[in-house]
Structure formats: structure tokens, C-alpha cells
């Protein structure tokens, strides 16, 4: 395909679409935005599971007594 007849706006649209519709980014996000809005590694482990277990244990102790 010859690009001789394209103007600056068409080149901009092609570049923009290439970044927006890139694979697996979801919700039309750019690659940079996808990197910033992802789940990050938690070095302390399964903190949510542990917290839920502790909260349930305390509730059960209160119900028992």
C-alpha cells in the first residue's frame, strides 16, 4: 500500500490506533496505562486470605462466648 497520498492526520490515526487497539490491553487502554493499572506482587504473601481468616476467627470467638 502506497503512503504517498496520506497526510499527517492519517499517519497520526494509524499510530494512535496501533497503540490503542494493541492486543490484550483491555478497555482501549494504552500499554503504559495497562502497566500502571495492574495487580502488583505482594511480598507479604496472601494477606487478604490471612486477614479474612483472622476476622472470621474473632467473630466465631465472640459468638461462642
DSSP label of 56: H
Percent of the chain exceeding pLDDT 70 equals 62
pLDDT above 70 for 15: no
pLDDT above 70 for 65: yes
Q: What is the pTM of this model?
A: 0.36
pLDDT above 70 for 32: yes
Question: What mean pLDDT is predicted for residues 30-54?
Answer: 82
> Any residues with CB less than 8 A from the CB of 22 and at least 6 apart, and which?
30, 31
Question: What mean pLDDT is predicted for residues 10-39?
Answer: 69
Three-state DSSP string of 1-55: CCCCCCCHHHHHHHHHHHHHCCCCCCCCCCHHHHHHCCCCCCCCCCHHHHHHHHH
Amino acid at each position: 500500500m502506497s503512503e504517498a497520498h496520506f497526510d499527517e492526520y492519517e499517519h497520526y490515526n494509524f499510530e494512535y490506533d496501533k497503540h490503542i487497539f494493541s492486543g490484550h490491553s483491555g478497555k482501549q487502554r494504552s500499554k503504559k496505562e495497562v502497566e500502571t493499572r495492574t495487580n502488583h506482587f505482594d511480598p507479604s504473601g496472601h494477606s487478604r486470605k490471612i486477614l479474612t481468616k483472622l476476622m472470621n476467627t474473632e467473630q466465631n470467638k465472640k459468638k461462642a462466648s
